[in-house]
């Protein structure tokens, strides 16, 4: 399968196979009109299979989303067709405005203006208000 290389944009690489669509959705890439390639189950010598997302535009990406869904995925920034920066994204300490607390008893269920914030406890995230585990 051939996908053109990009001139200016972002390549999210080394995504655990199966997690690419979640990152794609949480980054809101389905809402943009830029060229995006979501490639699933790419052969990888290190990982066996991996997903890759290529964004053909110089846009801001919420790196916390990547660290939350799949810590260890890499973000490559491409400028003028060459790799200008490569970063491995760790799991963020706090996750703000990415996912919503589903607990109907949480204060965020009635106070709509409150930001939905989650804090990392080891491998899981809990709502900072009610401590309900993120789904």
Partner 1 sequence: MKAVIDILDLSKDEILELIDTAQDIIRDPDKYAHACDRKKLATLFFEPSTRTRMSFEAAMYELGGHVISMSSAGSSSAAKGESVADTAKTVSCYADIIAMRHPKEGAAYVAAMNASVPVINAGDGGHCHPTQTMADLLTIYREKGRFDHLTIGVCGDLKFGRTVHSLVGAMSRYEGNRFILISPEELKLPSYVKQEVLKARNIPYEQTTDLEKALPKLDILYMTRVQRERFFNEEDYLRLKDSYILTTEKMKLAPENMIVMHPLPRVNEISVAVDNDPRAAYFKQVLNGKYMRMALILKLLGIKP
Binding site for partner 1 (CB under 8 A): 103, 105-111, 113-114, 121, 127-133
The DSSP output letter for 29 is G
Q: Which is nearer to partner 1, 60 or 113 (CB)?
A: 113
Q: Which is nearer to partner 1, 34 or 114 (CB)?
A: 114
**Minimal distance in Å, beta carbon 108 to partner 1?**
7
53 strand-pairing partners: 12, 38
Q: CB-wise, 60 or 111, nearer to partner 1? A: 111
CB 42 within 8 A of CB 49: yes
Name the DSSP class of 113: T
Identity of the residue, 59 or 129, whose beta carbon is nearer to partner 1 in the bound complex: 129
SS3 category, 97:
coil
Distance CA(103)–CA(93), nearest Å, equals 21
> How far apart are CB 82 and partner 1 at their closest, in Å?
45
Beta carbons within 10 angstroms of residue 79's beta carbon: 12
User: Which candidate, 81, 74, 71, places its Cα nearest to that of 125?
Assistant: 71
């Amino acid at each position: 399968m051939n996908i053109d290389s990009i001139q200016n944009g972002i390549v999210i690489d080394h995504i655990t196979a199966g997690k690419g669509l979640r990152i794609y959705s949480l980054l809101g890439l389905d809402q943009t009109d830029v060229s995006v390639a979501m490639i699933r189950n790419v052969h990888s010598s290190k990982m066996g299979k991996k997903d890759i997302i290529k964004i053909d535009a110089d846009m801001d990406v919420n790196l916390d989303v990547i660290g939350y869904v799949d810590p260890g995925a890499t973000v490559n920034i491409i400028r003028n067709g060459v790799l200008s920066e490569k970063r491995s994204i760790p799991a963020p300490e706090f996750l703000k405005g990415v996912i919503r607390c589903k607990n109907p008893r949480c204060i965020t269920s009635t106070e709509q203006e409150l930001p939905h914030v989650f804090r990392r406890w080891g491998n899981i995230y809990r709502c900072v208000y009610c401590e309900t585990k993120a789904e």
